Structure 1
Amino acid sequence: MKFSLDKNLTFEQAKAIMWEQLGDWKIMALASSVNDYVMVRNVSCLFYDDKVWFKTDKNFRKTQQLYQNPNVAMCWGGLQIEGTAANKGLVVDEPGRVFEQGYKKHLWGSYNKYSHEDTEIIIEVTPRFVEVWDTSDDNYAYQIFIDFEKQAVEVKPYDKK
């Protein structure tokens, strides 16, 4: 969904742009921090129920970091998500196994290589604040700031006419 710079966006329209850019899945950079020790690594993500989902081994360093500090930032292209991560349990225990089905469909190679039923957990990231870089119908760059807690949107043109 593109728009002209002279139009406003509602919260729902801004979310639609965000989820449209992300599609069904992406490899995203995940940043986390404990005691000012910052780590970043790529994670294979699925998007459903207005959340970002990825799986990881419950014994990995990143997982241990998320247990201590659930505040994360994720990035793909011109889209950054700041949010809160939550352990949703073993992949195989998710009701309806939505994540497992999506992961098999979109990320088969990773699913096939790294599926350990007894240690693989699902992490759910709930967005709090999102920044989207895009271009308008009239080809001007702009940023969309989406505040999920306030359900507010701010559009800032980067280029001037």
Structure 2
Amino acid sequence: MSQIELSYEDAKQNIIEEIKKRQFMVLATSEKDRVYARTMGFIPDGLSVFFIMRPATRKYGQIAANPNVAVADGNLQIEGVARSSGHPFAERNTRIMEIWKEMNPRLYESAAKIYPRQPERELFEVVPRRIALYKNPVFHDVSEPYWHILYVNE
């Protein structure tokens, strides 16, 4: 595999474009010495992704005990820390909900009817620490396979 030099900003922009394409990804959490993974809906915003869940779930307890998570889809993996941002329809989350509404109006409208009556729902942000994106000539318009690996500082 050859080495391709990209500036941090170019690599970051490439990764943001890939993240924008994803609405569903796999969220991996851990508990004791086991790893759990499940497909979930995500809302992309820059290098971060957001998801919604209720406290009465196994993944909620796992994240409360260990907020280090991974999110993956195909050739993209995001390692980061999951942080609650409160109720999805809280005022501070308006911009994220607008992104979701634009991405998936049908799902957003359904949630907009139900979630206000469910105060326990929480919006979580995966604050990225490391993002890896693999590009391969078989699936992408590139001449050589390569990795974008981005280390993100808060």
- TM-score (structure 1 length as normaliser): 0.79
Partner letter of residue 54 of structure 2?
D
Say yes or no: does 1:34 pair with 2:35.
no
Classify the secondary structure of the residue corresponding to 1:130.
strand
Aligned to 2:122: 121
Q: Give structure 2 stretches of 5+ with no counterpart.
A: none
Distance 2:4 2:65 in 1: 42
- The one of 139, 142, 146 equivalent to 1:142 is 146
Over the residues paired in the alignment, what is the CA RMSD in angstroms? 2.4
Aligned equivalents of 2:3, 2:121: Cα separation in 1: 47
2:9 is aligned to 12
Misfit runs of 4+, over 3 Å: 108-111, 135-138
- Decide which moves more: 95-104 or 53-62: 95-104
Structure 1, residues 76-125: CA drift from partner, whole Å, max 9, x if none?
11011110100111111142512222223323443316842212211011
Structure with the largest fraction of strand: 1
Deviation at 1:12, TM superposition (A): 1.3
More helix by share: 2
Contact 1:56 1:122 in 2 (8 A): yes
Shift, 1:64, TM fit = 1.5
8 Å contact from structure 2 (residues 3, 146) kept in 1: no
The answer to whether the 8 Å contact 2:15/2:47 transfers is: no
User: 2:63 and 2:21 mapped to 1: Cα distance?
Assistant: 24
- Whether 1:72 aligns to 2:69 is yes
Distance in 1, matches of 2:151 and 2:11, equals 10
The answer to whether the 8 A contact 1:25-1:106 is kept is no
**Structure 1 range deviating more: 5-14 or 138-147:** 5-14
Deviation at 1:51, TM superposition (A): 1.4
Identity among equivalent pairs (%)? 27
Using the TM superposition, give the Cα deviation of residue 44 of structure 1 relative to its aligned residue in structure 2, in angstroms: 1.1
Q: Which runs of 5+ in 1 are unaligned?
A: 152-161
Q: Give the alignment of 1:27-66 within 5 angstroms.
A: 27-66=24-63
Offset of 1:67 from its aligned partner? 0.9
